[in-house]
Amino acid sequence: MKYKNMLNNKDSYLYVFPVDIYKDDKHSINNREIHKRINEGNNLDGYIKDYREEAVSKALLDNHRDAYYEFATYSNYKPDFITDIFVGKRQVILEPHVSFEKGYVRKLKKFCNEYTNFALIFIMPDKTYKSLDKNMVNEIKQFSTIWVVDKFLNNPEQMKHSENIISKKIRKLIDKNKSYALYERF
C-alpha cells in the first residue's frame, strides 16, 4: 500500500502501494522537528520517542535512505519506520522494539498476513531476544525478520554503537536487494 498526499490537503492520504517517501513530508526522518523531543514521553505522536528509534533513524540517514516515522495506521498497527528500501518487491518496515507480548505478536502477524507487500524487520536488544520463549521466537520468524543488536539500550551514550550496527545491517539489506534486482532483469 502506498499513501499519496491528496491535492490541497497534506494530512489526507490515499491507499496505494508502495509508500512513496518524500523528503519534505512532515513524516520524513529528514524533518528535524521529529527528533527534538526524544525521551519526553511515549505519548507524543509523530516524534521519535527514544534513543533506540533515533539510532535507527540515523542509521537510515547514514545510508542515504529515507523513511516515514509513524506515518499511518494499518489494522491497529502504526509502523515506526516505513523505509524506501525494498527486498524484492516488498517495502521494508523497521520496527525497534523491546517487549513482545502475545497480543502484540498476534497483531503484527495479522498485519503481515494482510499487507504482504511489506517486509517487517524487528530490531531488538540481545537481552530481549535471549529472554523470549523459543516458541515466541519461532512464531515471530514465521512472518518477519529479527535483527538482534548487542547493547541496544535507551541512552545517548550507547546510541552511536547501536547506529553503527544497524547501519551495517541496512547496507547488507541494500546490497541484497541490488542482487535481487540484477537477478530479476534476466
DSSP codes joined into one string, 87-123: ETTEEEEEEE-S---HHHHHHHHHHHHH-TTEEEEEE
Alpha-carbon gap, residue 124 to 111, rounded angstroms: 19
**Total count of domains within the chain:** 1
Length of the chain: 186
pLDDT per residue over 101-143, tens digit each?
A: 899 999 999 999 999 999 999 999 999 999 999 999 999 999 9
**Distance in angstroms (rounded) separating the CA atoms of residues 115 and 74:** 9
| pTM, two decimal places | 0.84
CB-side neighbour CA atoms (13 Å) of 44: 13
pLDDT the model gives residue 3: 45
Stretches where the chain sits below pLDDT 70 are 1-17, 37-46, 179-186
Structural domain boundaries enclosing 79:
2-185
Q: Report the percentage of the chain scoring pLDDT > 90.
A: 53
